[in-house]
Every structure is written in structure tokens, then in C-alpha cells.
Chains A and B, each alone.
Chain A
Amino acid sequence: MKRTRFINLEVMRKVKTFGSIGLGTSLLVGCSDQPNAVVYRTLDECKTANPNYESQCEFAYQRALKSLYKTAPQYTSLADCEYEFGYGQCIQHPKSDNWIPLMAGFALAKALNNDRDLDFHYSRPLITSYSPYSDIRDHWMTTDGRTYGSRYNKSVYVAKDSFKKEPPKVTRTISRGGFGSKAKATSSWSSRSSSSGGWGG
């Protein structure tokens, strides 16, 4: 065979159709694994549980929300989204016109070397379904389609690679826009100025 043997179409799909999310396509995590993450349903829940870490909770929550907008399954119709996640469980994506599930909670990883502390840099959005038609009803699920047991669990085992690391930050960006000028100059010349075209070849 001269072609790619297998492509996971669910992973490649940008907009979901109803019924495309289910336990069948998810990676189930073994029960024997020790919980390594804590789940909070709301920002307040996080703050109450960690009284001295309110701003860290805020940060982790915002990070999870941002990640939700980036990675949540998108639906062109509200009906399809609600079919999967339940009535009133979907919101409109702030940038596209598509529909995505609400963030039902967010998971915080436990610190690697100290099981009691939380690592607020590693947060992930969790979604769940209230729909009777959905395989993932009452399960926690990450936006990559992995499920993590019952929605009533407050601590879960999350595969290590599920937490995306924050890249290192610089102290200050002193200028922007030092790349891109040649593309602009060349494309504004182009007769197809309306669309400008790419720089690929």
C-alpha cells in the first residue's frame, strides 16, 4: 500500500456532527491509576478550596476557558450541540458562529513531587453531557475526547500528556512587527490584491 494506512477522522474533524462523540472513540483510563488531578466545577469552588490561592485559581480558570474556546468540539447548529450535551448546555463560540459545550469544570494537576499541592499552571477544561442520547452522559471528558469517569468524582486520573505545558515567558516584549513587511509589499503589488494569496508555492 502506497498510502497512509489509517487516519483518525474524529481527530481531524473541525466541526462535529451529532453522535460523533462517544465512548467508543475515547480513550478510557484504567481505574487502578491513582488520581493525579482535582476537579472544580466553578471558579468559586476552587477559591473556597484554596483560600490562599485565589489569583492562581483565577489564572487556572481563565487558562482552561481559553483552551476550551480553542479545542472544544464545534457544531454549526445549536440543536446538534444540545443533542450531544443536553438542553441549555451549549454556548456560541466568541469568534466563530459555531456552538460549543459549556465548560462544566476544570482540572488542576497535582504537583509532581508533592501530592498535596496543586500545580496551578496545569489546568484543563472539562466538559460533560446531560443528554440522554449521549454516550458520555454524566462523564467528565477533556476536549480531546478522553473520558475520565463519573461527573460526580472530584478527583480524577488524567493522562500526563493531557496537560499542556505553558511555554516559558519573557520579561517584556520590546517591539513587534519586525517580520511580514515583504509579504505585504509584494502582495499589494499583486493584481489579485483582494485576496493577496499565500506565500506557499
Chain B
Amino acid sequence: MLRIPIAERADWRKRADEFGFKFHTMYGEPYWDETAYYQFTLQQIEQDIEDPTAEIHEMCLDVVDKVIRSEALMQRFCIPETHWDFIASSWQRKDACLYSRLDFAYNGKGEAKLYENNADTPTSLYETGFWQWLWLEECVNSGKLSRQADQFNSLQEKLINRFVELAKERVGSPLFFSCSKDTDEDRGTVQYLQDCAEQAGIDTYFVYMEDIGLSEEGDFTDLEDHAVRWMFKLYPWEFMLREEYAPHLLDNKTAWLEPPWKSILSNKALLPMLWRLFPNHPNLLPSYFEGDKNIDLQHYVVKPIFSREGSNIEVYQDGKQTAIVDGPYGEEGKIIQGYYPLPKFGDNYTLIGSWLINDEPAGISVREDSSLVTQDLSRYLPHIILG
């Protein structure tokens, strides 16, 4: 695993305009960064990332199966009691899912260690499935990169195939897409999924989460009073279960992507549960619930059960707090995870996001940050496989 500087494509910003990639620069800082790329060997990709990704996904599904059968665990996972049946029946019906992203600390040698599972609302999908694919294509065509260069990235192909499968279950049904307002990044991600669904022959519609309505009959509606019967939402279940319309989820027949059972996987309580069920697994970091007995960690990280993008994280070394990131989360309890710093390449800390479409590993994204905790402001770098 190498970090190799490369000249930017001279016209990439123009290309980004053409393809509607609007969030390559965020908060005035570069987000898409093609001044360098990461290079992996095929063996690193397949043995160290792809295989563990499939295995951990299976382990996560085992956790869901355990949690939905136990009231005590549903409580630990902060699932509102009113919605226990809603979530359990979604699991028992085997409601279809679309995608997830596992985040790993990996430095090219040894085991990739799981940081967390973004199973409900993962982003950086467009950059991965399409934009870094295009980067490789154009760098190879212009002779900047070898024809032998490949990429671990069959995301777009697998996404379209997955939509084709999902459409077979609901022939002719329109699929509504949603995310919250005022974020180019989320809207861009959702638009990409819409494009993939359209290519799979599905009619797609869009409505913002804030604009969703409720009909007399209990259907959710878009702004044109269409009944929403099938919806992809880039919006966390942990919010939806606590908002005004939460009770209406119960008596309503909308099929959701991601399905309600994903609320258990997008929750950091997953990490201590994985460690309980699969102790000392080589790809796991020791993890505990706050208040567990026999926590034997000198260096550890405290994370809220609900949090995104590195908010509210505290780092302790030799029992002393050495770093803290503020944020709005943490009311619902915290977990403790063994400290395992991200590998450093030059001045950058590097995090690998490993994608699954349904249960198949489908590619990776590489993000860099100048601090140890990866946040929204991290930069996205492309990667290749060579050798």
C-alpha cells in the first residue's frame, strides 16, 4: 500500500461540472483530491479487505438476529420500545437492503481493523462508484497510469444489478428517493442512486424528507400527493424513529431502503456486541459498553452510540484524555473501543471505507485527514490496484 503523487487531470473541474459532481470542494476546502493516489496489490485487496468485509458483514447479521430477540439488547441499542416489533418484523420478513460501508484502519500489512459500520446512510458513494472510476479511465487513456492498473470498484455495476433484482419483487413500482434539504453532498449521493435505479428500469421520484406528507389513509406522500409505497431515504432511522411521524411508520405499508432492521447495524452498540459474539476476532478491536466490568484497556476511544463523522469522540492514552472532538451526540450512551490509530502516510491519516452491495463486497474508498479522527472535512483520494 503506497501513497503516490500524480499530476491532476488538467480539466477535472470542468469534467466535474459536466457530470454534476458539485461537492468536490466543501466548506472552502478541497474534498476530492487527485494530487496523489493509493496503490494496493491484488493480494492486499482480496485477502486483507475483500474477504474480511464479507465475513464481518455476516457477523453483523448475526448480531441483528441476536438483538431483535432480546428486549434487554433492544434497550441497550436505544431502539424506542414503540418500534421494537416494527424492526423485528422487518428482519423476520428479510426486508431487502441495498448497501453499506465498513470503515477500516489498514496500513497494507496485517489485519484491517473495523472502526465502524455505516449500514444505514453511507455517503461518498458517487465519488467511489463513478468519479474515481472515471479518474482511472482517463489517467490510463492519457498514459499517466499503466494499462495494467485496476481498481477495487464494481460499485456501479453491482448497484444497477441490485436494483434490477429489487425491481423484480415490485414490478412497475415507482421508487421515491429522499434526503434532507440544504446538503449538496446528500442530494448528489441520492441523485447517483436514482441514476442507477433508472438504468435498472425503475421509475424514480424525489421528495425532501422535510416535505414528506401524510394522507388521510395513512400513506406518506410527496409534494404532488403521490402515495409513497417504496422509498430510499438517506436519513438515519434513529431520527425517523423519534420524529413526529414515527407512530405512522407502524400502520403504513411503505417498503424502505435501507430497511428498518438496519437501525441496529448503524448503531455503535454493534461494536461491543460483535466483540462479545466474536471475541478476539483478528479484524475487530476490543469494544465494550460504558459501565461494562473488566474493561482492560490502557488506550481507548469513547464514542457515542449515535454519532456520525467523528463527532463527540474522546481519545484516552494511559487513562488520560489526549484528544476530544466536540459534537451534538452522546445523550443515548457511549461505547469504549480499543485505541488503534489510523496509519499515517506522510502527514495524512488514512481510513479505508469498504463497500457492500447487499452482501457482496464491491469496492473501496480512501479518505485522508490531517487529524486522527476522520470528519466531514477529510479528503477523498482515488486508488488503484497494481501488482
Q: A2-B154, A11-B195 are in contact. List 11 more A-B contacts (CB 8 A).
A: A4-B155, A4-B156, A13-B19, A170-B215, A170-B221, A173-B225, A174-B215, A178-B248, A179-B235, A182-B236, A199-B239
Known: A4-B129, A4-B154, A13-B18. A178 touches B195 (CB 8 A): no
Inter-subunit contact A179/B243 (CB<8 Å): yes
Q: Does B172 contact A (CB under 8 A)?
A: yes
Inter-subunit contact B225/A183 (CB<8 Å): no
Chain A window 116-135, contacts with chain B (Cβ cutoff 8 Å), 1 for yes, 0 for no: 00000000000000000000
Sampled A-B contacts (16; CB under 8 Å): A2-B363, A4-B129, A76-B17, A161-B201, A167-B176, A169-B226, A178-B248, A179-B235, A180-B209, A181-B244, A183-B235, A189-B328, A192-B376, A199-B183, A200-B122, A201-B309
Sorted nearest first, the 3 A-B pairs with minimum C-beta distance are: A200-B123, A14-B20, A178-B245
Inter-subunit contact A178/B214 (CB<8 Å): yes
Chain B window 109-143, contacts with chain A (Cβ cutoff 8 Å), 1 for yes, 0 for no: 00000000010111110000110011010000000
CA distance A164 to B175 in the complex (A): 12
Inter-subunit contact B234/A199 (CB<8 Å): yes
Residues of B within 8 A of A16 (CB): 18
Give the interface SS of chain A, mostly helix, strand, loop or mixed.
loop
Inter-subunit contact B214/A15 (CB<8 Å): no
Residues of A within 8 A of B129 (CB): 4
Inter-subunit contact B209/A179 (CB<8 Å): yes
Looking at A173, A176, A179, the one whose CB has the most chain B CB atoms below 10 A away is A179
A-binding segment of B51-59, B145-153, B338-346: B145-153
Inter-subunit contact B156/A167 (CB<8 Å): no
Inter-subunit contact A201/B122 (CB<8 Å): yes
CA distance A14 to B24 in the complex (A): 15
Q: Which residue of B lies closest to A166 (CB)?
A: B226
Q: Does A32 contact B (CB under 8 A)?
A: no
Residues of A within 8 A of B199 (CB): 8, 11
Inter-subunit contact A165/B174 (CB<8 Å): yes
Q: Which residue of A lies closest to B192 (CB)?
A: A12
Q: Which residue of A lies closest to B239 (CB)?
A: A182
Count residues on chain B whose CB falls below 8 Å from chain A CBs: 81
Residues of B within 8 A of A (CB): 17-20, 26-27, 42, 45, 101, 118, 120-124, 129-130, 133-134, 136, 150-157, 172, 174, 176, 179-183, 185-186, 189, 195, 199, 201, 203, 205, 208-217, 219, 221, 224-227, 229, 234-236, 239-240, 242-245, 248, 266, 308-309, 326-329, 363, 376, 385
Q: Which of A48-99 contact B (CB under 8 A)?
A: 76
CA distance A171 to B17 in the complex (A): 41
Inter-subunit contact B240/A200 (CB<8 Å): no
Residues of B within 8 A of A183 (CB): 180, 209, 235, 239
Q: Does A24 contact B (CB under 8 A)?
A: no
Inter-subunit contact A180/B210 (CB<8 Å): yes
Inter-subunit contact A3/B154 (CB<8 Å): yes
Inter-subunit contact B121/A200 (CB<8 Å): yes
CA distance A197 to B224 in the complex (A): 27
Inter-subunit contact A175/B226 (CB<8 Å): no
Known: A165-B203, A171-B215, A178-B214. A7 touches B156 (CB 8 A): yes
Q: Does A186 contact B (CB under 8 A)?
A: yes
Inter-subunit contact B153/A169 (CB<8 Å): no
Within the complex, what minimum Cβ distance (angstroms) separates A141 from chain B? 17
Known: A165-B174, A199-B308. A2 touches B240 (CB 8 A): no
Inter-subunit contact B214/A168 (CB<8 Å): no
Residues of B within 8 A of A172 (CB): 215-216, 225
Q: Does A30 contact B (CB under 8 A)?
A: no
Q: Which residue of A lies closest to B201 (CB)?
A: A161
